[in-house]
Structure 1
Amino acid sequence: PTSAQLEALDPDDPEGAWAVAFSPAVVHPELADGDRLAATRVPAARGQVLGRDGAALVADAPVVEVGVQPSRATDVPALAARLAEVVDVDAAALTERITAASPDAFVPVITLRRSDYDPVRDQLQPLPGTVFRESTRPLAPTRDFARALLGTVGAASEEVVEASEGRVLAGDTTGLSGLQREYDAQLAGTPGTSVTLVRAPEPGASEDAEPVGEELHAVPPADGADLQLSLDARVQQAADAALAGAVAAGAAGNGSASLVAVDVPTGDVLAVANTPSSGSNRALTGQYPPGSTFKAVSTLALLGTGLTPQEVVGCPPTATVDGRSFRNFEGGAAGDVPFAVDFAQSCNTAFVSLSGRLDAAALAAAGADVGLGGTWSLGTGAFTGSVPAGGSAVEVAAATIGQGEVLASPVAMAAV
């Protein structure tokens, strides 16, 4: 204890024990009766996410947070249903949150870019109970721009607060998903603290009068550090547009697709696109049979057996291995042609007929030679592939055309 604290101890206790004779000045010499100390968390400037050319991929942009104040809502289920129609939220979950909130709480519904809010403003503003907050958030150029990779920034959720082990507090702006969350400690920096002496109001002062404060102590925030990526904004926007075009043309099957662009000389990942853009980053972590793209790996293995591009390998409509029939796409057949033609036309039956030349571990070894199943230093999680070593003759035949138990992610095959 300090000398000031010892002087505050009162020996005149009837029990003969020491007791504390407390006064506000013990806490701070300028603190008087009725005064209080207020500690304020001072946020640090968030670091930027930079693209390959050093320009910011994510920058502060205006947003509007749409919310509900329960005390103003006249018909909560109807309000939630209408908001679900306009901004595509879960009406049942929203109704539950509004009902459980205190009357004057701000119940968040959705945060919209200003450009997304303006077209629906006239539908939202008249709804009884809706309230709005305007601010800025770190945003990518478009809503879909590498969204699953970059992630989002917003008010800390309970899950994020718990996982941070005290680093993030309720109300903080923090990374919620993607790289923004994975690298939040680097990007967010360290908040500062300001301790202010708030004087007791003067006698007769209005209850609405602003309290007078005097800063007694301050620890400045340490700003976050930038995060450098290899993404190329131009290539990323082209990848997003290509996927959107494929979906619009009905060429994306069930509407779920991913695209990764890699710079061949350096191995840098230039674009990571997914459609839908929300949800998991399937382009990096998805596990799918690679199909005919795997024939490049099979060809590497077959060339190791002595096969040459000029060797004639038949491409019939079907081929059978141990009773299992394999066929070409749409039943096509090229006839007896050089293997180079089989490869160019992606002939399934030619590869299946050659699978007997491969020993049990040949495909796995060829896959490892091009990085499949290896340990990558990508800077974030990725599934690098799985090529089984061995198997039955049918399993090896299926593997040569990227089927069976062979699995890879889009980024893994982009790097082949």
Structure 2
Amino acid sequence: MPDTPYVTSPRRRGPRNGVRAVAAVGVVLAIAAGGSYATGFGPFSRGDDGPDPAATEQARAFLADWAAGRLPSAAGRTTEPGKAREVLRSFTAGLDIGKPRLTAAGEVKEAEDGTLGVPFTARMPITGLGTWTYRSRLPLREQDDGSWKVDWRLSLVHPRLSDTEKFRLEREEATLPEVTDRNGTSLSDGGHPSLAPLLGRLAGGADGGPRGAVELIDRATGETVRTEARFGKEPDPGKAGRPVRTTLDATWQSAAERALGEADGKNASLVALRVDDGEVLALANSPAGGFNRAASGTYAPGSTWKIVTSSALLLKGAVAPDDVVDCPKYLTVGKEFHNVETSEHPGATFRKDFTESCNTAFISLRGELDDGELGEVARTYFGVGQEWHIGIPTYDGSVPVPKDETEKAASMIGQGRVQANPLIMASVTATAVSGEFHQPSVTAGNADGTRTEPLPDRVVTQLRGLMRATVTDGTARVLADLPGEIGAKTGTAEVSDDQDNNGWLVAHRGNVAVAVVVEEGVTGGGSAGPVMHSLLSAVPEGPS
């Protein structure tokens, strides 16, 4: 990238520490809880002699704008908007920083120059390397009209950024070992596009992983003044050159890549894993490059989450498959909820409610569960929300305690603030039909700090029956012509008023559980169904 006054392009070293150019990336920042908007918290609390609330409010607003990537707005809150905007842009883009956290923490103090100093901690993830953490201070100066602005200076971005010194990111190239599937077949040959962004990380255990540094350099000479942060470790000589074996299966991975072609060009992802041990057989994304939405995405799981909701209800004995739970078109709980295409099934059994994915019936049972019970069941039996270590970065799910009755109703059907992704939902499916959670894995030897309990056999039997009926008589009929005793659950997840719904489908056959999501796919059966059908048509029916 071109040189800027605030960061510099990486320089090249010799062959041992060869450096490749850093591409600028878009930045989306997130302000942490320490940067609370609410007055009276953390560094913004005010006693009789505390800081002017208007000053602290401006500090909050600046950090929030910077954190959200609203750089023009952040710059407009400073005394030098033009310079501020350019520095904030070049600092984050030039150092390849993505999704940092800015946490305001510490005592607000008045400096000798009359400014108020708001301290904050910056956690800056350097793409592909690690997180650079440092502390800085945000100065606020009162203006002639009584308002407050951030008193712009380079040092607020980082204490050592100045007119004479700036930062440079250097990456050390490394020759990565070959990555293979579970049977020793190479995955490094370019034939599996979804794995290309992950190969370096998968191979990192053998060569010490990606290495690099953020260096402070002299603006005039370009010489390094000091190393601010260093990432990665030296390779293990005992592992150098050895192929890295994964749990993936080249046959399943190839079939998964092809199956996503049925998503009609929409963003989509898929995970297939073994039921008996959680080993991932395939992980695919469309488009293939970039963000790994299959394992790190955050989606409302929609009605596929009714597997967890049903588990919670069945565990309590609050309902049985043959109990009548009416399914009206509409149900109002703070707002109006309805079924897909406003369908209704008067006098339906709970089995019918599950197989036809009746939202109103499930919502009507919300009183059978305590406010935090759905999240507790998800965590205790399915491992959702615990910390997973599978060999690559993951988002491990969230099921917050609902804030009110409307949100509780939404969580019963996988909406509201319930968050998951295909990895989580494939694991949920495997747990439901086996009764036991296994932390998923892509590589061997990962730490496992999860703690779960097995589902009772009677609940597993009931869940398997409900999922099988969804294929034979319900919304997953798209899979009914395939060989094997397949069980499944569809899902349609609302996103926003101006976006089509995401389509979901989870299924199990033999020893494999699969989850598919198609963004803006409208319905699960209609969009994720063809993807799942293509995959299961192309892979062996028997154990994997």
> How big is the shift at 1:223?
3.5
1:246 equivalent in structure 2: 263
Match of 2:248 among 204, 209, 231: 231
Aligned-partner Cα distance in 2 for 1:379–1:164: 26
Change (3 A) 1:230 1:350: same
* 1:51 and 2:68 are equivalent in the alignment: no
1:292 corresponds, among 290, 299, 303, to 303
AA paired with 2:420?
Answer: A
The answer to whether the 8 Å contact 1:287/1:383 transfers is yes
**Partner Cα separation in structure 1 for residue 427 and residue 15 of structure 2:** 49
Indicate which of 406, 409, 414 corresponds to 2:418. 406
| C-alpha distance after superposition, 1:234-257 (max 9, x if no partner) | 111111111112225xxxxxx111
Letter in 2 for 1:312: V
Q: Distance in 1 between matches of 2:328 and 2:407?
A: 20
Is this contact kept in 1: 2:212–2:232, CA < 8 A? Answer: no
How far the C-alpha of 1:305 sits from its partner, in A, is 2.8
In structure 1, which of residues 335, 351, 368 is the aligned counterpart of residue 362 of structure 2?
351
Find the residue that maps to 1:325 and give its secondary structure.
strand
Q: CA deviation at 1:265?
A: 1.4
> 2:390 maps to what in 1?
378
Query: Closer, same or farther in 2 for the Cα pair 1:300/1:232, shift >3 Å?
Result: same
Distance in 2 (alpha carbons) for counterparts of 1:152 and 1:355: 42
Q: Are residues 1:268 and 2:246 paired?
A: no
1:331 aligns with 2:342: yes
Q: Residue 403 of structure 1 aligns to which amino acid in structure 2?
A: Q
- Which digits, 9 at most, give the CA deviation of each residue in 1:6-56, with x for residues without a partner? xxxxxxxxxxxxxxxxxxxxxxxxxxxxxxxxx985999742212111222
Q: CA deviation at 1:387?
A: 0.3
Letter in 1 for 2:347: D
Residue in 2 that maps onto 1:140: 190
1:9-408 to structure 2, matched below 5 A, reads: 46-58=176-188, 139-142=189-192, 144-150=193-199, 162-163=212-213, 223-247=240-264, 255-306=266-317, 307-321=319-333, 323-368=334-379, 369-408=381-420
Matched residues, percent identical?
41
Cα offset, 1:145, TM superposition: 4.1
Rg comparison, structure with higher value: 1
SS in 2 for 1:335: coil
Q: Deviations over 1:49-73 (max 9, x none)?
A: 1211122221xxxxxxxxxxxxxxx
Residue 270 of structure 1 aligns to a residue whose secondary structure is strand
Q: What is the DSSP-based 3-state SS (H/G/I as helix, E as strand, rest coil) of the residue aligned with 2:291?
A: coil
Shift of the 320–53 alpha-carbon distance from structure 1 to 2, 3 Å rule, reads same
Of structures 1 and 2, the one scoring higher in RCO (CA 8 A, sep 6+) is: 1
What amino acid sits opposite 1:56 in the alignment?
S
8 Å contact from structure 1 (residues 283, 410) kept in 2: yes
Task: Extract unaligned runs of 5+ from structure 2.
Answer: 1-13, 18-172, 203-209, 216-230, 429-544
CA–CA distance in structure 1, aligned partners of residues 332 and 239 of structure 2: 67
CA gap 1:336/1:150 in 2 versus in 1, 3 angstroms: farther
Q: Kindly provide the amino acid, as one letter, of the partner of residue 162 in structure 1.
A: G
Deviation, 1:285, is 0.6
- Aligned mates of 1:300, 1:267 — CA distance in 2: 20
Give how far 1:229 is off: 0.8
- Counterpart CA distance in 2 for 1:185 and 1:230 is 25
**Shift of residue 355, structure 1, vs aligned partner:** 1.1
Is the Cα contact below 8 Å between 1:257 and 1:275 reproduced in 2?
yes
The whole-number CA distance in structure 1 between the counterparts of 2:233 and 2:280 is: 21
TM-score by length of 1: 0.52
1:319 match: secondary structure: strand
Is the CA contact 2:194–2:285 (under 8 Å) kept in the aligned structure 1? Answer: no
Separation in structure 2 between the aligned mates of residue 348 and residue 247 of structure 1, nearest angstrom? 27
1:280 deviates by: 1.0
Say if 1:352 and 1:278 are closer, same or farther in 2 by CA, change over 3 A.
Answer: same
Contact 1:301 1:366 (8 Å CA) reproduced = yes
TM-score (norm 2): 0.40
Residue ranges of structure 1 left out of the alignment (5+ in a row): 1-38, 59-138, 154-159, 166-181, 191-220, 249-254
* Residue deviations 1:253-304 (CA, integer Å, cap 9, x gap): xx11111111111211111111111111111111111111111111111112
Q: Which residue of 1 aligns with 2:59?
A: none
Q: Could you tell me how far apart the structure 2 residues matched to 1:146 and 1:364 are?
A: 32
Residue type at the aligned position of 2:392: T
- Aligned residues between the structures: 236
Q: SS at 2:212's partner residue?
A: helix
Per-residue deviation, 1:372 = 0.6
Q: How far apart are the structure 2 equivalents of 1:407 and 1:44? A: 36
Distance 2:232 2:293 in 1: 19
Aligned to 2:503: none
